[in-house]
Structure 1
């Protein structure tokens, strides 16, 4: 290493605070047992109040010098109440999971996992293990700069990591600016506390993470040991593991804590980094009404006399770019001018900026969320620039207090109604009179056959059904922002009634 003098002095202070170079380099595997909680900033009733998504306990064996880990994870997750219990092993670009890791289908699995899932996990462990970061900085090829108690580690394909030291040289915080769709550039701040001596080195027993100023992660380590690298501990990675595309690998490394929000929630499919709808074109729901069907999220398209209205811009720009092509092809010759977002949850409006990039778009949302949507449209995106960052385009955000109605090309109306929901304070449902259908997201997912009484989403299904009755809407079909079993995107109102407990 041929660092400038100030960098060498700052790095030396950090290494010494953790036990000295000989002890740090001798440390092979960090074993920790921890309990904690995770909150999701893109869920809950209010964008300023992240929702508790999991209480967890974990046992981690982390290779401090190589890309290997073994994680035993148990959690109570709350969006769909489920107990997760799995062992995940990563080794380089390969990985394997055994147990229950998916809240929507709590059946045990025993399967290989994609390489980008392993990459995201390892990046998260980089950010939460000072010993692992120091080992990276001591590598001969490391790119490190620093002075005045701050070190910056740069690695190819990853946002720079800044480590802040206290007066004694201990690492008190790690900061990195990541891409968090739809917020854009988000400062992730990892704080370390309660350092204790373990096998000749010092490790933190408390880790807290904030993202965009919101406290999203708290972890208390109840046990920590430093051991040797036992290959058997990392055994069990079998079979072929899907290699990441360039885009997937980049996303795993530049949006790590965004991905981890969903991982801790027990939402496995975000690791798929979806990039396209599952059907080649939008499917017809009724004359003048079509649905873009995605692997997990759907977009409804309604033909107006002179333009097109879309409902939902889901996930993130990579997926929404492909979905938007189907929106534009749904009714040729008519431009997209209006977008209704049912609520502020990131997974249903994360592609907002992609939809806005063509310009002249009016975004209709529940009134409480107007400032949040305006913030999203104005936010800087430098870590992973999108189309709107490259060529800013005008977009107008308008709030809906009760109802907004447009005439449709089919001769009826399409209306967005504010309803009361425990899911989000800005919740909208969309009714198309000519099709006698209601589109909703997250309140109830259509099922292919009559459900069990009271099944699926509990009070949310009841609130949706009660709202339809209170509004006096003539409804025959419920369309989902999510599909139910398989690719079931629509179901009779009577199925919702049963789910609602009536």
Structure 2
């Protein structure tokens, strides 16, 4: 019995020791999977001396950008918006970068091709020149222009996240190599509490991705990430041959890198902006850091610097300026915007208050429009509702601001679910009016056919754009008709101002045949719809660039 009991104790002790040993091994394994020394990461890339001695880089990028339609897309997501080839020249961690585009092929929303443009940033100054987008291609505006503060910071942040060597140099400068053990390392963005996270691949000891939380005006706080793939040897170190950018979990940009050079020699002129007019505004620069992809996506659509200017003030009633048509309609319908910002709203006075068509761009611009309506266009009148023409980001980004102001949102029935979700997706980084003063009873009304307000004084129509097939642009798009002024308000299926001027041959280049076909089909659809509903229309008001005539719409239908 003693022998058996002793044997039992011995066996039990051996078993306990074995379990402890396994647990230790498992814990060590888990620690190995979750943490790695900075020294090991640095040595994988050639060592401290090699990394610190890399001060300049140059490489070629072949890239593609994507957009995503609403939850009921008329084409398969993602939508390819542009393809481009550019040379990147950069001086690491000195806020100097240069992009020389040899080609930019815009595919959405209107196809056109441009080439030979240059963007240069040197600290708080920046410029762009050449055939860079819509204005240069169609109107010959190729002279160097300054970059706004927001775009400068957006470019610099994305460029930094796209260069793991640059990020690692900052990590080395602020950490002890031997004692720093982690699965990721942080790099400041310039805004307190907002950092870029450099994530390390535990299997290769190479940087895996750079992540940061960004402010998105539709989805709230989201993760923007640049993934490093297909690493290749370059001299004494390594660098990724492919960059995949994701935003809120969706692939928004893919870049293939080639001709990678370490420490090329640059002259002072390489990073000297061609136009340094304009002051750097700290607040606007911070907006670029908070929402870098919001600014970048306009560039991908061919609108360089189009919506970078300060948007938190300056909206006016009846915008006026060079090459801007008379925007006067009548005492109860007023266009609110600014000549240099091509996304406007329409304020319509009813017997009970004011209804606003479109919450464009972002909360700052929409708030400026709200203030102008309340203080100038219709002082003393309550804003009682907002009509969303469709839920693309540039037409929908300020919906939370106007929802808080009015308590009522009208949207095409396919966009109701998205709108309800957006009203709960606030940003903790840059809280908007709805986040600061939550309105619990915001009502979202879906438009399924025709909805009339104020006894028919204002009519909302759901356009059956599925008839346009791949050219429908959106499946939840609505138009607004105001009988008193014989005004038909629409967005994107018809654009006024410069778009009509280009089609009329008043620019340096006309639309290509593919674009003409899209424009004509959409205009024809709108004319047929107006006729079908027996609407008397004198004014066609586009959210982009305001007032046009029925004759303008007919002209576009005949391209």
TM over 0.5: yes
User: Does the alignment pair 1:279 with 2:316?
Assistant: yes
Alignment of 1:1-20 (within 5 A): 10-20=37-47
Do 2:186 and 2:198's aligned partners in 1 also have CA atoms closer than 8 Å? Answer: yes
CA 1:318 to 1:50, structure 2 compared with 1: closer, same or farther past 3 Å? farther
The 3-state SS of whatever aligns with 2:476 is coil
Question: Secondary structure of 2:278's partner?
Answer: coil
- Per the TM alignment, residue 478 of structure 1 is displaced from its structure 2 partner at its CA by 0.3
Match of 1:134 in 2: 168
Give 1 or 2 for the bigger CA radius of gyration.
Answer: 2
How much has 1:109 moved relative to structure 2? 2.6
1:257 maps to: 293
Bigger drift between 395-404 and 38-47 goes to 38-47
Deviation at 1:328, TM superposition (A): 2.4
> Hey, what does 2:198 align to over in structure 1?
163
Distance in 2, matches of 1:321 and 1:146, equals 45
Question: Aligned with 1:261: secondary structure?
Answer: helix
1:402 and 2:446 aligned: no
Distance of aligned partners of 1:262 and 1:146 in 2 relative to their CA distance in 1, 3 Å threshold: farther
User: Is 1:173–2:209 an aligned residue pair?
Assistant: yes
**Equivalent residue of 2:372, what SS?**
helix
Kindly state the Cα deviation for residue 286 of structure 1 after the two structures are TM-superposed.
2.7
TM-score (ref. length: structure 1): 0.89
State the SS of the aligned residue for 1:313.
Answer: coil
State the partner residue of 1:62.
Answer: 90
Q: Is the 8 A contact 1:119 1:253 kept in 2?
A: yes
* 2:468 aligned with 1:424: no
Superposed CA RMSD in Å reads 2.8
What CA distance in whole angstroms lies between the structure 1 residues aligned with 2:186 and 2:201? 15
Deviations 1:267-299 (A, max 9, x none): 121222433345356865234222113321111
Alpha-carbon spacing, 1:335–1:191, altered in 2? closer, same or farther (3 Å): same
Specify the alignment match of 1:121 in structure 2.
155
2:123 equivalent in structure 1 = 92
Q: Could you say which residue in structure 1 is the equivalent of 2:324? A: none
Match of 1:361 in 2: 407
Secondary structure of the equivalent of 2:99?
A: strand
1:44–1:424 contact (8 Å) kept in structure 2? no
Match of 1:225 among 261, 264, 282: 261
Cα displacement (A) at 1:447: 4.3
Alignment counterpart, residue 333 of structure 2, candidates 272, 289, 293: 289
Partners of 2:264 and 2:77 lie apart in 1 by 42
Q: Is the 8 A contact 1:207 1:218 kept in 2?
A: yes
1:204-234 per-position Cα deviation (integer Å, ceiling 9, x unaligned): 0011111111111111113212124423462
SS in 2 for 1:173: strand
Contact 2:127 2:276 in 1 (8 A): no
Superposition pairs of residues 75-474 of structure 1, within 5 angstroms: 75-78=104-107, 79-85=109-115, 86-106=117-137, 107=140, 108-140=142-174, 147-157=181-191, 159-167=194-202, 168-232=204-268, 234-268=270-304, 269-277=306-314, 279=316, 284-294=328-338, 295-329=341-375, 330-358=377-405, 361-394=407-440, 395-407=442-454, 413-421=457-465, 422-447=472-497, 452=504, 457-474=519-536
- Partners of 1:420 and 1:463 within 8 A in 2: no
**Aligned-partner SS, 2:134:** coil
Residue by residue over 1:330-387, the C-alpha shift from the partner in whole angstroms, topping out at 9 and shown as x without a partner, is 33333112111000011112111111223x5110101111111112110031121112
**Alpha-carbon shift at residue 67 of structure 1 (Å):** 1.1
The alpha-carbon distance between structure 1 residues 420 and 233, as it changes in their structure 2 partners (threshold 3 A), is farther
Distance in structure 2 (CA, Å) of the matches to 1:188 and 1:178: 6
Q: Residue 281 of structure 1 contacts residue 326 of structure 1 at CA under 8 Å; is this kept in 2?
A: no
Q: Say which SS state the counterpart of residue 329 (structure 2) adopts.
A: strand
Q: Which digits, 9 at most, give the CA deviation of each residue in 1:470-497, with x for residues without a partner?
A: 22211111011011xxxxx212201101
**In 2, Cα distance between equivalents of 1:457 and 1:204:** 41
**Other structure's SS at 2:528 match:** helix
Identify unmatched segments of 5+ residues in structure 1: 1-5, 484-488
How far apart, in 2, do the equivalents of 1:300 and 1:146 lie?
Answer: 56
Change (3 A) 1:10 1:391: farther
8 Å CA contact 2:151–2:285 kept in 1: the answer is: no
**Partners of 1:31 and 1:224 within 8 A in 2:** yes
Match of 1:3? none
Structure 1 stretch displaced more, 168-177 or 12-21: 12-21
Gaps of 5+ in 2: 1-31, 320-326, 466-471, 506-515
TM-fit CA distance, 1:444: 1.5
Q: Given the two structures, how large is their TM-score scaled by the length of structure 2?
A: 0.81
Q: CA deviation at 1:125?
A: 0.6
Structure with more of its chain in helix, by fraction: 2
- Paired residue for 1:475? 537
How many Å separate the matches in 2 of 1:378 and 1:325?
23
Look up the match of 2:73.
46
CA shift at 1:123, angstroms?
0.8
Aligned residues: 486
